[in-house]
Amino acid sequence: MHIFLSISTKLLQSKSTSFKSLTWIPTVFLLSPKQMSQSTSIPRNQQRIRDHGYDDYMEVEKKIRKVKKFQELLLTQPNSMIAISRLDMLARRFGFKQYEAGKFILKFPHVFEVFEHPVQRILYCRLTRKSLLQIEQEKLALLAQLPLAVTRLRKLLLLSNTGRLRLEHVRIARKDFGLPDDFEFSVVLKYPKYFRLFDAKETRNKYIEVVERDPRLTVCAVENVREREYREKGGEEENVRFSFRVNFPPGFKIGKYYKIAVWKWQRLPYWLPYEDISGYDLRSLEAQKRMEKRAVATIHELLSLTVEKKITLERIAHFRLAMDLPKKLKDFLLQHQGIFYISTRGNQGKLHTVFLREAYRKGELIEPNELYLARRRLAELVLLSPRKVTVDRRLINYGKQGGDDEMADYVENGGDHSAARETVREDLGEESLDSDGDCSTDTENAQKEANNDDVTDDAEDTRVTNV
């Protein structure tokens, strides 16, 4: 009897444990689907899909960022050149290790030039002529688009709730919006009818405030895109009225329910970024939906105001409180990967750059401006092969005899060697080619000319040393 009772109790315990395990499994399946946002039906936690076009763009930007630091260092030195022995010591300020600065400048011979000083007989580093032309081109483009920069700053201030932003936050992102380094004097104080600079008593920080709200500046860039697409393609008005351009990265999995969620979100009405929402009740679920879509429109407009239609996530976070943006910006932007793209390349994963997808095609800006083209000119010099340096030097030596106008045309053509070769062939004479029909005499003459140029250069150096 005791044995029977013990066996029955064990069976009951085993059934109860199995029953508990069976009842625990459905609760897991109830929590296992993707968490949906409370304001929209789009999944909240999205996995980031890489787009190599934007990542390759940032790999070049990483090199350009270091090159610009060296350029600024050289421009601050007397005669814009520095001894190689001092370069390694000064480069440690930028985080370079010992003997790493010399290796770095040798990688980019079209930007930096290492030469022997004719008097001191030590190695110096300076900027090449192409690099100096690129810097001058960027300065001219910055001055030419200064009226557009004033309009960008006015629209940026109108995006904030109070019409004001901290001066320090704008200074950090000045290059993204095409503002000069001295914008506090050349833009803010120069146009008192648009801006007002004051010190806040509670925080003791300087703020920039817009003087007057111009209704002509409260039109978003996405509204112009919607109007243009509606006139060109047509379609239902409700599908276009509140929609955004969506272009998912390659490899992004789009299911049937996700398509339905995006379709519903595209038709959802929202408050515009420039609209005053202080009088609305934001506690309802409908208000949360509109506020979430308004945050997407605000970031979209913020990226549209930049020169290169990109900005780092950390700089967007500076404007988070002033523009009512969500706290977890990275997760929020990953929820809308068809509109934005976040690249972690450029600073060992510590820097997050946000791109506006509709503004780029195959890694290039669709509607480039002069300032963007001037900055990309530096990228071309960085990516130019070091093997072409010898050809460039021969052409420069030939330009000493042929004139500086030909060299200027060569630089303006972006380093096109075909035009320069045609001028060389014309000056050397085409009679030898027509008469003999062989290129050997032409090459021999070119070698003689190059040797003569080297001799004349050595003679000039000896004259300088004798003086």
Question: What gap in Å lies between CA 307 and CA 362, rounded to an integer?
Answer: 18
Looking at 306-439, list the stretches that DSSP marks H as alpha helix, in order from N- to C-terminal side: 313-318, 329-334, 370-383, 388-402, 404-412, 417-428, 431-436
Query: In order along the chain (467 residues), what is the average pLDDT of each group of 10 residues?
Result: 51 43 32 47 73 90 90 89 85 74 88 88 91 95 94 95 93 94 93 91 86 91 90 80 89 84 91 89 88 95 96 94 92 92 79 93 90 93 78 54 45 44 42 38 43 43 35
Question: What gap in Å lies between CA 206 and CA 352, rounded to an integer?
Answer: 27
pLDDT given for residue 237 in this prediction: 77
Closest CA to 60 of 415, 385, 383: 383
117: left (phi over 0), alpha (psi -120 to 50) or beta: beta
C-beta separation of 199 from 348 below 8 A: no
- As beta bridge partners, residue 210 has 195
Question: What gap in Å lies between CA 412 and CA 393, rounded to an integer?
Answer: 16
pLDDT given for residue 456 in this prediction: 42
Cα separations in angstroms, 370 against 68, 139, 192, 375: 19, 11, 27, 9
pLDDT given for residue 393 in this prediction: 58
pLDDT given for residue 39 in this prediction: 52
The whole-model pTM stands at: 0.74
Enumerate the domain spans of the chain. Answer: 34-145+220-383, 146-215, 387-466
C-beta separation of 48 from 41 below 8 A: no
Looking at 76-203, list the stretches that DSSP marks H as alpha helix, in order from N- to C-terminal side: 84-91, 100-106, 129-144, 146-159, 167-172, 183
pLDDT given for residue 174 in this prediction: 94
For 342, list phi and psi in degrees, rounded to 5. -110, 120
pLDDT given for residue 367 in this prediction: 92
pLDDT given for residue 436 in this prediction: 40
pLDDT given for residue 244 in this prediction: 93
Parallel, antiparallel, or unpaired for β 360-361 and 353-356?
unpaired
Contacts within 8 Å (CB) and 24+ apart, 260-263: 260/41, 261/40, 261/41, 261/42, 261/43, 262/42, 262/338
The radius of gyration computed from the CA coordinates of the chain, to the nearest angstrom, equals 31
pLDDT given for residue 391 in this prediction: 58
pLDDT given for residue 127 in this prediction: 94
